[in-house]
Chain A
Amino acid sequence: MEDIKNWFKEFYIHESCWDLDISKKVRSFLNINPIKVSSRPYSNISGNLSGQEFDISKQRLYLTRHEGHFFRKCPGTQGAACCNYFVLNLGQQCNMNCSYCYLQSYINSPLTQIYTNIDEALMELEGISRQFPDAPFRVGTGEVVDSLSLDDLTQTSSLLVNWFSKHPKLTLEFKTKSNNVKNFVNLNHAGNVVVSFSINPEVIVNSEEHRTASLQQRLVAARLCADKGFPVAFHIDPMIYVPDWEMHYTSLVNVLTSMFTPREVKWISVGALRFIPEMKNILRERFGGKTSVLEAELFKSHDGKLRYDQRLRNKMFKHVVDEFKKADLKYPVFLCMESHESWLGTFETSPRKIAGIESFFKPLPTVST
């Protein structure tokens, strides 16, 4: 991973946020002088970013307030079994560079944004936990930004761990491809902060997940979290079909199951490569022939995204699930954003009937966001 101190080439702070603690913290951390602005820089650039604009956006930091709701339901995907996940967006864009990253088709702002009004985000969560005191919402901060890769700048993780320790009914998920757990791992917690790691075989990490922590580094960080009593989770997502994929994924599961017992692992989600067709052009522009993602045999799926043929997906999912079963039947494995055909093909049943994960799929109250 890059040293985040020297990562950003441009640094902007909205004038309304200049004197906030978080801005002072970031200013003192980075080796670059910030520019005070009264509106979003590069406001002339909007809509879909070119590959070059997307690359540059990763190294332009903008601290600003977030307007609107922070907390919202994960949109999931049409026709997929919904696991009732909620997201808390505390920024946008990622300093890492995975070839398959969906942000390439999602982000339309040429900057990495970090929101400074996290206090308002927590007030919003407070309101929801009062309104639904018994609802076991699972909330993740890693949807449009990695939960932990920029944590040295903001130190948000410690703030969130402290807040969630007072709200034990809720579950927070930090989702990351970094190994940056040092800012919170020694804190007291209520056991409701799940530290999850997106993982893939080392061969895929090396070829597709640029500027991320190595597989080994992620697993070591996960082990440290588990040792400190944090529940851990893993996302084997996206699975990518590469030569000898069975061997690579078998060895990934073997390493994981040798390091973590089922009791330590809160969930393991499995998904396969998918993205909207519009993302192909930016992928070509940014990675060209250097990614196996462009070679993948993908077809338009029921929700318009490109996916592997259903038969291949079933085979890939079943392989991973069976490997976990071989180690221990109690590993809580589920499929992410997948059709009912995939559930049937992999588990021969629907998610609400699988012990260990059935609770994720039970309907929760509707939150107006």
Chain B
Amino acid sequence: MNLVPINIDLSLNFFPQNLWPMSLPLVCGADSKLVLGFERFLGLDGSQKQMALVLDQKAHELLPQLYDVNQMSGFEFLRFNKVLNNESDSSTLLAWPLELQLYCDQKKLGLKNIKPLTYVSQFMPQISEALLSLTPTSSQLREVIELLCDLNFQNKYTWFDLKPKSNIDEWLKDLNQKRFPITKNADTEAKKELSQVSWPKGVNAKWENKGDQASLIIQSRVFSNIQWKKLRDELAKIDLSENTWKI
């Protein structure tokens, strides 16, 4: 291992998420390519010359030892394989703008989460712009990508129909309504039914969807037996229509 000034070859930069913790970049001796420390290739004066640690191995042998593919996010993994020239069918996904790729990596989206983007590439600039401006959380990002992919397979929506109208929450609501119309309409009807019921004072009744189960949740605090009997009698008077649970 030597310490040498070097003109760094950056062709292996796959924009890794985990930054090299040491102060010097790491270069492989055999082919003079930078394998670690891509983020600090510039010297303080902005020149591309600086000191680097040199390991006596070829880049393609060294890189897999330095980066754990099991820890990589989806796009990061694809970029890593690309610089190593490993066989993979990644060209469609790696055509997405690097900025969006890095955002997805930052949100820890795995390969299976980003794969649906393969099928919405006709909306690439629009989706990228929307996602980067709305800055969804990790779970929101996964959900939007899934929904856009599913809706696009239905072949009945243009980007005008799918695009966000305001914030990320509203966008998700709109996409979910389009993706699950039968279920969402049934929920709307159920909520309407429940809103017309005069619930006893202190009773909180709400319609909740949890996965494949939709249910009515009734909550109340009861402090005495008298209060309980009163509540029970009042609840007994409520006659909910069977339509509430129908779809």
Listed in ascending order, the chain A residues whose CB lies under 8 Å from chain B are 50, 241, 278, 280-281, 284, 288-289, 294-295, 297-302, 307-313, 315, 341
B214 interfacial contact with A, CB 8 Å: yes
B247 is contacted by which of A278, A284, A289, A312 (Cβ under 8 Å)?
A312
Which residue of chain B has the shortest Cβ distance to A315 in the bound complex? B247
| 12 other A-B residue contacts (CB within 8 Å) besides A300-B211, A311-B245, A315-B246 | A280-B116, A281-B112, A281-B115, A284-B153, A288-B119, A288-B153, A294-B153, A297-B180, A297-B183, A302-B213, A310-B214, A312-B182
Nearest CB on B from A240, distance (A): 13
B182 cross-chain contacts in A, Cβ below 8 A: 241, 297, 309, 312
User: Is B212's CB under 8 angstroms from A309's CB?
Assistant: yes
Partner of B186, one of A50, A299, A300, A311: A311
B207-247 contact mask (Cβ, 8 Å, vs A): 1 or 0: 00101111000000000000000000000000000000111
Q: Once A and B bind, how many residue pairs between them come within 8 Å at the CB atom?
A: 66
Show 27 A/B contacts (Cβ-Cβ < 8 Å), sorted by A: A278-B112, A280-B116, A281-B112, A284-B115, A284-B119, A284-B149, A288-B119, A289-B154, A295-B150, A295-B154, A297-B180, A297-B182, A299-B183, A299-B209, A300-B211, A308-B212, A309-B183, A309-B186, A309-B212, A309-B213, A309-B214, A309-B247, A310-B212, A310-B213, A311-B245, A311-B246, A315-B247
**Interface residues as binary, B154-183 with A (CB distance below 8 Å gives 1, 0 otherwise):** 110000000000000000000000011111
Q: Compute how far the CA of A311 lies from the CA of B146 in the bound complex, rounded to whole angstroms.
A: 23
Find the A residue at minimum CB distance from B184: A297
Contact A301 B212 (CB under 8 A): yes
Given contacts A289-B155, A297-B180, A297-B183, contact A311 B149 (CB under 8 A): no
Whether A295 contacts B153 in the complex (CB less than 8 A), given A312-B247, A341-B213, comes out as: yes
Residues of B with C-beta under 8 A to A289: 153-155
Give the docked Cα–Cα distance between A308 and B214 (Å).
11
Contacts of B211 in A (CB 8 A): 299-302
Q: Which residue of A lies closest to B211 (CB)?
A: A300
B213 — which chain A residues lie within 8 A by C-beta? 302, 309-310, 341
> Is there an interface contact between B154 and A284, defined as CB atoms closer than 8 Å?
no
Asked if A284 meets B212 with Cβ closer than 8 Å, knowing A309-B183, A309-B247, A311-B247, the reply is: no
Complex: how many Å from CA A289 to CA B155? Answer: 8
The B interface, classified by DSSP as helix, strand, loop or mixed, is: helix
B103-150 with Cβ < 8 A to chain A? 112, 115-116, 118-119, 146, 149-150
> How far apart are the CA atoms of A299 and B154 in the complex, in Å?
18
Residue of B nearest to A298 (CB): B212
Q: How far is the CB of A175 from chain B (nearest CB, A)?
A: 26
How far is the CB of B2 from the nearest CB of chain A, in Å?
37
Residue interface mask B74-116, A partner, CB < 8 A = 1: 0000000000000001000000000000000000000010011
Which residues of the other chain, A, contact B149 by a CB distance below 8 angstroms?
284
**Chain A, residue nearest B186 (CB):** A311
A251 to chain B, nearest CB (A): 22
Taking a contact as CB atoms under 8 Å apart, the answer to whether A294 and B183 are in contact is no
Smallest CB separation, B63 vs chain A (Å): 21
Closest 7 A/B residue pairs (Cβ) = A311-B247, A299-B212, A300-B211, A289-B153, A301-B212, A297-B180, A307-B212
With both chains docked as a complex, state the minimum distance between the C-beta of B187 and any C-beta of chain A, in angstroms: 9
- Report B242 CB to chain A, min CB distance, Å: 11
The distance from the CB of B89 to the nearest CB of chain A, in whole angstroms, is: 8
Residues of A contacting B180 in the complex (Cβ-Cβ under 8 angstroms): 297, 299
B246: A residues at CB distance < 8 A: 311, 315
Q: Using CB atoms, name the residue of chain A closest to B245.
A: A311
Q: B247: nearest residue on chain A (CB-CB)?
A: A311
